[in-house]
């Protein structure tokens, strides 16, 4: 049995989760934090909007 291997893996996961939480920290006025998937959807929508806008001009 090697519990240390799992421990190291779990620590790595926690470090990554903590890092993500730090990056995703909401701004002071922003109480509601969007899940990553919603951010991705908004990003895609924004890109499509920019393409459409450029096409129309």
pLDDT at 56: 73
Residues 18, 23: Cα–Cα separation, whole Å: 9
Q: What is the pLDDT along the chain (57 residues), one digit of tens a residue?
A: 455 566 767 677 677 787 777 766 656 665 566 666 777 788 888 898 888 888 776
DSSP 1-57: --HHHHHHHHHHHHHHHHHHHHHTPPPTT--SPPPHHHHHHHHHHHHHHHHHHHHH-
pLDDT at 15: 77
Question: In total, how many domains does the chain have?
Answer: 1
Compute the CA torsion angle 30, 33, 37, 40 (nearest 10 deg): 20
Model's pTM, two decimal places? 0.33
Residue 26 in contact with residue 32, Cβ under 8 Å?
A: yes
Q: What is the extent of the structural domain holding 26?
A: 3-56
């Amino acid at each position: 049995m090697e519990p240390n291997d799992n421990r190291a893996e779990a620590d790595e996961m926690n470090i990554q989760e903590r890092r993500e939480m730090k990056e995703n920290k909401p701004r002071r006025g922003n109480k509601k934090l969007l899940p990553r998937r919603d951010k991705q959807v908004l990003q895609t929508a924004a890109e499509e909007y920019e393409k459409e806008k450029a096409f129309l001009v």
